[in-house]
Amino acid sequence: MTHPIIVTGPQRAGSRLASHIIARDTNRTFIDEVDYSPDIPDYAVVQAPFLLKTVLELSFLFPTAQFAFMIRDKADIITSMERIEWYKDYITTSKFYKAYVDHCYDYINLLQFTLPKHRWFNIYYDSLVDDPLFVKDRVDFTTKQYLPNKPNGPKTWRNDEYLRPA
């Protein structure tokens, strides 16, 4: 049976890379979170950390969908958020990043308790490091980049019209 796979978790946890790897390895269509709509094909892999908060609803909307939860070291996520200045246009307190990541993982734990086991699986960020798509040197890494030496998106998330139109 075909079904969409929705890759989600905290922002900066590796969902873009994991989604591209899954799409490549399963010959599925990659769908970026900005292109998501409820009409996704059954053979899609959707990269969408923003959908984390709607996984329960999506589990009913797509009764055969699987959910891949990204698991990455919390400190590494926070470092990545700081590097790209994620959400700094709106919230400037340093406590936000840790609270956000903790909340995401608490919610993922609740979802894993709520959803049937066959509906979800974890992807550990560290398991992706040997894939050819993994970029080890992130000095000039951009916000939506997943290919080595091919920047995609701006360097910071602040005032970014591509991600958040004015």
Q: Do 77 and 131 contact (CB within 8 A), yes or no?
A: no
Computed over every residue of the chain, the mean pLDDT equals: 88
**Residues 8-14, mean pLDDT to the nearest whole number:** 95
**Residues 52-67, mean pLDDT to the nearest whole number:** 95
pLDDT higher than 70, residue 134: yes
Given this model, what pLDDT does residue 3 score? 86
pTM: 0.88
Please give the Cα distance from 141 to 150 (Å, whole number).
Answer: 9
pLDDT higher than 90, residue 2: no
Buried b (16+ CB within 10 A) or exposed e, 98-122: eebbeebbebbeebeeeeeeebbee
Please give the Cα distance from 82 to 94 (Å, whole number).
Answer: 9
